[in-house]
Amino acid sequence: MNRGWAFWNLVAAASLGALTGCATHSATQLSRQVGESLVFVGEAPATLARLPAAGEPLRLRSTYLVGPETIEYIAGRDFVADPATGTLRRIAGSHIPDFSTNVLYGQTDFDHSRFPGFGNTRFFAFADYSFRKSVRWPEQPSQVHLLKRTRTKLVGGELVKIVAFGDSITAGGDATQPELIFWRRWADELQRKYPRAHVAVVNGATGGDSTVQGLQRLQAKVLDHQPDLVLIGFGMNDHNKGGVPIPQFEQNLRQMISRIRAGTPAEIVLFSAFPPNPHWKFGSHRMQDYAAATERVARETSCAYADVFNNWQAMAARKKPEDLLGNNINHPNDFGHWIYYRVLSELGL
């Protein structure tokens, strides 16, 4: 399929991004982070997830993928970097957007519907830099022992149909291009790894759904496609105020798994979600409990589990929530989708 220059730029970015957390030069133990997103508030420092290696080049640009519209930000003109603290600072007269002009900046307990035009996409800057490897990331055990049938079909050059089932995050919310949705990136990686196979992906997700609506849509969105592998990602809407209590959330996931196994030959991957903006009015801010429930169901039903929650938290530990939120509420930006993708890539297929 010809997806144009943007797709081939994506392939290059994905290849570089897959090296993150791994030594790229064994002699120096340097790894490369590509496309890490930040927003800059006035001239306050913005913090990178890693400490950049001193003396190594650092690139800062306006778009996740490089294209004709990309603005390259220049050190000394637009920003200054402090590798010792892992911070970048926007300077006076910079071409970098000032996040303090975002309509949600400084708002607490906010109702997003009262702020037309909310969203962070035009405020992001994206950094490429080298860092010295210190900890393993992502921390995701292989799940290949729970995905043997899928792996056999990939190795054998067969058709592998994947259905991505979940809420607006799974549907691709705030990815700037379809090719940047996390499960699309993973499917593209599998296709490159197993060129004789045919990896087909179906977007079976629906924005706004909790596991309650997921159960109602399961037949049309999943079972009718007769998939070989199903990715199940719920929790963001379940966790909201007035949402789905954890016991029911677990039971709904178990019903999905039971019906998928009864009606298809598919293997199943459950994946957790990340915390939304802590200042959002409608979040219960108990995502860690829903992530733990997702992992518990996966373990007790012998499904594969992708630990997005803890790996997201590890990447975000030094960063502002707004650095990673495409809509400033509960959708990952392009770099956030990359975090999901990297966790899936560690499943072992």
- The CATH number linked to 154 is 3.40.50.1110
Asked if residue 176 and residue 122 are part of one domain, the reply reads no
Task: Give the DSSP H/E element, type plus range, for residue 347.
Answer: none
Asked if residue 148 and residue 19 are part of one domain, the reply reads no
Asked if residue 288 and residue 242 are part of one domain, the reply reads yes
- Summarised one tens digit per residue, pLDDT across range 149-202 is 999 999 999 999 999 999 999 999 999 999 999 999 999 999 999 999 999 999
Asked if residue 160 and residue 273 are part of one domain, the reply reads yes
Give a yes or no: residue 138 inside a domain: no
Closest by alpha carbon to 241, among 111, 51, 74? 111
Asked if residue 179 and residue 59 are part of one domain, the reply reads no
The model's pTM is 0.92
Predicted confidence band at 22 (pLDDT cuts at 50, 70, 90)?
Answer: very low
Give the residue, 88 or 24, on which the prediction is more confident. 88
Asked if residue 206 and residue 177 are part of one domain, the reply reads yes
Asked if residue 257 and residue 168 are part of one domain, the reply reads yes
Q: What is the DSSP letter of 51?
A: P
Give a yes or no: residue 41 inside a domain: yes
Asked if residue 190 and residue 85 are part of one domain, the reply reads no
Give a yes or no: residue 17 inside a domain: yes
Give a yes or no: residue 139 inside a domain: no
Asked if residue 338 and residue 220 are part of one domain, the reply reads yes
Supply the range of the domain harboring residue 263. 144-345
Asked if residue 223 and residue 253 are part of one domain, the reply reads yes
Asked if residue 212 and residue 332 are part of one domain, the reply reads yes
Region at 335 (left for phi over 0; alpha for psi -120 to 50; beta for the rest): alpha
pLDDT value at residue 25: 46
Phi first, then psi, for residue 21 (nearest 5°) are 90, -5
pLDDT value at residue 134: 83
In contact, 274 and 313? CB cutoff 8 Å: yes
Q: How many domains does the chain have?
A: 2
Contacts of 46 (CB under 8 A, 6+ apart): 38, 39, 40, 87, 88, 89, 90, 320, 323
Q: The dihedral of CA 90, 336, 1, 197: what is its sign?
A: positive
Judged against a pLDDT cut of 80, whether residue 27 lies above it is answered with no
Asked if residue 230 and residue 121 are part of one domain, the reply reads no
Give a yes or no: residue 308 inside a domain: yes
pLDDT value at residue 5: 31
